[in-house]
Structure 1
Amino acid sequence: MSINHYKKIAGITIPDSKIATQATALLLEHGTEFIYNHSLRVFLFSSLNAQRNSLPHDSELLYVASVFHDLGLVPHYSSPDLRFEVDGANAARNFLKGHGIAEDKLQLVWDTIALHTTIGIAEHKENEVALMYSGVGLDVMGEGYENLSPGHREEIIKAFPRDGFKKKIIPTFFGGFEHKTETTFGNIKADVCAFMLPNFHHKNFCDCILHSPWSE
């Protein structure tokens, strides 16, 4: 895998602690160049949003969460029946447990990853959760694009190229849960299944109510 290592991009220092370095090594071992570049951009965008809004946060934990946030899509970490966000969150928690990280910080990282696609909730939680949600939204859907200076935008994309991101990200998502499409019920990834599978029939909440075992 051809990747770039930087100490600082767009004024943001990229953590190089033992934990951060080992997390990056796992991303490089089990992920792809495409996911690596996306994950680093998410960290940088999240950090810039923190800087712009003066939001205190744990940069190392935010970095680890960014590194693991899409690893639930890759075979090594993918379960047969859990949402990919939960797989990534579980992987990060297990990794951090090995470093003796406190329980409250384990939960914080778990929430940051597990909720990164949960619209309407993640942005109201702890700073790390809200920040990574914002970084993912900026990279994937361009949310807050207007707040990113042209200079920072160019510097980040040069370091961690998008490489046809718009065309590749939907198939990348789908490849991570095509064996368990039922896990997309009730979340935005059901849209990915509908896009990739023309005849996709998704579970319907109203049907669940109307066909419940209750007599009335």
Structure 2
Amino acid sequence: MGWVRLGFMFPETPAAAAAMSVVGRFCSPALLNHCVRSYLWAATYGEAHGIAHDEELLYVAALLHDMGLTESFDSHTVPFETAGGRLAWVFGTAAGWPQERAARAEEIIVLHMRDDVSAAADPEAHLLQVATSWEIVGRHADQFPADVRADVLARYPRLTFGAEFLASFEDQARRKPDCAAAASVRNDLATRMAANPLS
């Protein structure tokens, strides 16, 4: 898997540090850990499969991908991934990124809730999709060995993540019945989450 080389190293850039400050300020401990785990799963999977990607861009998108579920940035008019993507665009622009790079962060976050994207078409979106589908419903379980799972969960435990996330998606579904979160709830999200080997 290349896990030893990865060794929980995160990008050391001003934007990466700022993204961690944002999630630390606005996310619950359980949601913050989920966002960090999402990056770690994504980076590990990418390394194992030789998927070249922009580490800083993936890290920032992974940390910010669920900001639209937080009380401060929830939207009553657009899906949570759209709200979170727009926030990522604002974040990237404020961090001094070119508008094209800020737009990529937005795109990755929006796409993580859409139909599967290939690694060739968009490596960062693909990796975030793999990571979050593993985190939420246990998809791609065979790609993450038991020792890797144990290591990540020991450092970034799930805490009350399952209950918090399900409640957030059910709330999104009630208020925005046409969104992707609502479709997930209708597709028996609760049962699929309960069967996740990470839970």
**54-63 vs 165-174, which deviates more?**
165-174
- The Cα offsets for residues 47-80 of structure 1, whole Å up to 9 and x where unpaired, read as 0111011111111111110111001011211222
Q: Which residue of 2 aligns with 1:84?
A: 80
Q: Which residue of 1 aligns with 2:66?
A: 70
Question: CA separation in 2, counterparts of 1:180 and 1:105?
Answer: 31
Residue 159 (str. 1) matches residue 176 (str. 2)? no
Structure 1 residue 119: Cα displacement: 2.3
TM-score by length of 2: 0.83
Structure 1 residue 178: Cα displacement: 5.6
- The Cα offsets for residues 16-41 of structure 1, whole Å up to 9 and x where unpaired, read as 32111111111111111111011011
Q: Which residue of 1 aligns with 2:95?
A: 99
Q: Which residue of 1 aligns with 2:136?
A: 140
For the aligned residue pairs, the C-alpha RMSD in angstroms reads: 2.4
Question: CA separation in 2, counterparts of 1:75 and 1:179?
Answer: 16
Structure 1 residue 182: Cα displacement: 3.2
**69-78 vs 118-127, which deviates more?**
118-127
Which structure 1 segments of 5+ residues have no match?
A: 1-7, 197-216
Q: Which runs of 4+ in 1 moved over 3 A?
A: 120-125, 164-168, 193-196
Say which one has the larger Rg.
1
Q: Which residue of 2 aligns with 1:192?
A: 185
- The Cα offsets for residues 126-173 of structure 1, whole Å up to 9 and x where unpaired, read as 101111111101111111111212211111000111225444421132
Question: CA separation in 2, counterparts of 1:115 and 1:124?
Answer: 14
Instruction: Give 3-state SS (helix, strand or coil) of 1:54's partner.
Output: coil
Contact 2:170 2:185 in 1 (8 A): yes
Question: CA separation in 1, counterparts of 2:151 and 2:176?
Answer: 37
Give the total of aligned pairs. 186
Q: Which residue of 2 aligns with 1:180?
A: 175
Structure 1 residue 124: Cα displacement: 6.3
